[in-house]
Structure 1
Amino acid sequence: MVQILLGLLAVLLVYYLFYFIRDLVAERKNLGGGNWLVAGLIGLVTDAMDTLGIGSFAPTTMLLETTKQLDNDRQLPGTLNVSHTVPVIIEAFIFITVVKVAPLTLFSLVIAAIVGSYIGSKTVSKLPEKKVQFYMGIALIVTAALMALKQLGLLDLLGTGNHLTGLTGSKLIIGIIGNFILGALMTIGVGLYAPCMALVYMLGLSPLVAFPIMMASCAGLMPVAGTNFIKSGDYSRKVSLGITIGGIIGVIIATRFVTGLNMNVLTWIVIVVVLYSGFTYIRKGKQAFAGNLKKS
């Protein structure tokens, strides 16, 4: 079943690249704003962090906001999903082949995340810009809180003493439902890593098992979500391509050279800035809810 999953990820990669390359060629004279070098550096740094388990969505959002790479905030969810798809698939292949996980558990949770992302991306792509800003702010704060809990060791405590490598019965059903929800939430910028790790811990699996599950989940859902954003045009083409190229290099570097680095201080810096960005987006998007209250 693991080989089937690897084959599925390979097929999804080809499926995604077909639409991504076709769109870039068709719109080669309209790639949008942004800077190639800045986008590439963002991809290199964030996907190196992603390989180390920190996650890429929150720091990418922080850096895109800081460097003003996007033409408008509506492009953010699509750019996040499109730009990190290829690097994450590379990560998934590495972890799936190294860490032992019960095939049924791995396959079921990954498929659930893929279905969740498909439904979520279709919903998010139709949201007005102000609502996207508001929900992105909420997503960033949730992500930062989970990252902080992980840094404090509170999420790790949930997995202390866990040795299971697979789920059965009601726990498997809960895991499937949980990863379906996380897959949908990822399309509005809630990074799947930290909540997936918490879910895995609470269900009694070994903490190490979280890595192939969360990597494969993202690798499975991101080509689907990314393709939907590509079809709707709700992403930055130049920035996404730059982050993709830089991200591939970042994954290779992190895997081979920097897996032993202490990322504690850097992670806390990211948490603080992500919280700031989250409240900034909420402030920008609260007009949407104010408008709804007036209508009601």
Structure 2
Amino acid sequence: MKQVLLFVMIAFIGLHGSVFGRDLFKHRKNLGKESMPVSIGIGFITDFFDTLGIGAFAPTTLLVKVTKQLDDDRKLPGTLNVSHAMSCLLEALIFITVVNVEPLTLFLLVASATAGSWLGSKFVTGLPEKKVQFVMGCALIVTAVLMALKQSGMINILGEGNVATGLTGIKLMIGIVGNFALGALMTMGVGLYAPCMAMVYMLGLSPLVAFPIMSASCAALMPVASINFIKTGEYARKLSFGITIGGIIGVIIAAKFVTGLDITVLTWIVIVVIIYTGFTYLQKSHRAVAAQEV
């Protein structure tokens, strides 16, 4: 199963690289006016922290706006997908290779997230986004608090020392259903990383196991989405190229950092990421409610 996923990730790298590369070569005389050093810097920063589980889209949007690297907001969705597809695939390839995770668990959870995103693109987007963001925000913060209490030794509600690398029985079914739902919610803009971290921990798996699961889940989606943006030209070529270069470097460095951490330190990092993402969802929900009241 793990070999199948590795083959799929490598195939997607080849697919994305060829489609992206051909488009860059075709427009090599007019790639854009963006700054290559700034673009590379944005890619390094955002994908370094993306590898830690924070996510790349929101930080990239912020940095692109602050540095004024994009003059047409209509190209932002395409730029985000195209520029981060390769780094996300690389994340998945590294974590699948170096992290000890039970192959069947990994395969089934990644497959369920992919199926969920397909269904979500058709049906889930009709749900009230602000309510979903509010519920997800509250759930993540509560989970993070429980994790922190457990790590500090105050409670053992989450079980003793999560070291499992695979799921079986009812826990496996919960994981499949949970990742299916997270894949569907991605189509509404609800990031998969932090909720996946929380779910994996609550099911008793080692926090490190979340990294191949969440990265491979997203890596199976982004290359396909980016193809249409490339074909229609709805993305910033030079900016995306720079972010891709910086992102690859950021992923390699961050992956070594993550996999070399003591599991206790890693768990605290996961807790911080989950809290950060939870408050981000609550903030988005609050802004959506405020906009409706105006």
Change in CA separation of 1:221 and 1:160 when aligned onto 2, cut-off 3 Å: farther
Kindly provide the CA deviation profile for residues 114-154 of structure 1, in whole angstroms up to 9, marking residues without a partner as x. Answer: 33445667899xx9xxxxxx979x97996799589759955
After superposing the two structures, state which structure 1 stretch, 17-26 or 28-37, moved more: 28-37
Q: Secondary structure at the residue paired with 1:53?
A: coil
1:93 alignment partner in structure 2: 93
Kindly provide the CA deviation profile for residues 74-101 of structure 1, in whole angstroms up to 9, marking residues without a partner as x. Answer: 4333322221121222222222122222
How far 1:175 sits from its partner (Å)? Answer: 2.2
Change in CA separation of 1:202 and 1:232 when aligned onto 2, cut-off 3 Å: farther
Q: TM-score, with normalisation over the residues of structure 2?
A: 0.72
Change in CA separation of 1:195 and 1:256 when aligned onto 2, cut-off 3 Å: closer
How many equivalent pairs are there? 278
- Contact 1:84–1:247 (CA under 8 A) maintained in structure 2: yes
After superposing the two structures, state which structure 1 stretch, 139-148 or 7-16, moved more: 139-148
Kindly provide the CA deviation profile for residues 181-233 of structure 1, in whole angstroms up to 9, marking residues without a partner as x. Answer: 32344355433210111121233323222122112222222222322433454
1:84 alignment partner in structure 2: 84
2:12 alignment partner in structure 1: 12
Q: Please, which runs of 5 or more residues in structure 1 have no aligned partner?
A: 128-133, 291-296
Q: Please, which runs of 5 or more residues in structure 2 have no aligned partner?
A: 152-156
2:229 alignment partner in structure 1: 229
- Contact 2:133–2:285 (CA under 8 A) maintained in structure 1: no
Q: TM-score, with normalisation over the residues of structure 1?
A: 0.72
1:217 alignment partner in structure 2: 217
Kindly provide the CA deviation profile for residues 222-276 of structure 1, in whole angstroms up to 9, marking residues without a partner as x. Answer: 222322433454433222211110111112233457966x997xx79x959x959
Please tell me the residue identity of whatever aligns with 1:176. Answer: I
Measured on the aligned residues, the alpha-carbon RMSD in Å equals 4.4
Alignment of 1:1-296 (within 5 A): 1-28=1-28, 31-32=31-32, 34-118=34-118, 146=140, 150=144, 153-154=147-148, 160-161=159-160, 162-187=162-187, 189-256=189-256, 271=276, 275=280, 286=291
Kindly provide the CA deviation profile for residues 38-74 of structure 1, in whole angstroms up to 9, marking residues without a partner as x. Answer: 2110111111222333332332232223223333444
- Contact 1:113–1:182 (CA under 8 A) maintained in structure 2: yes
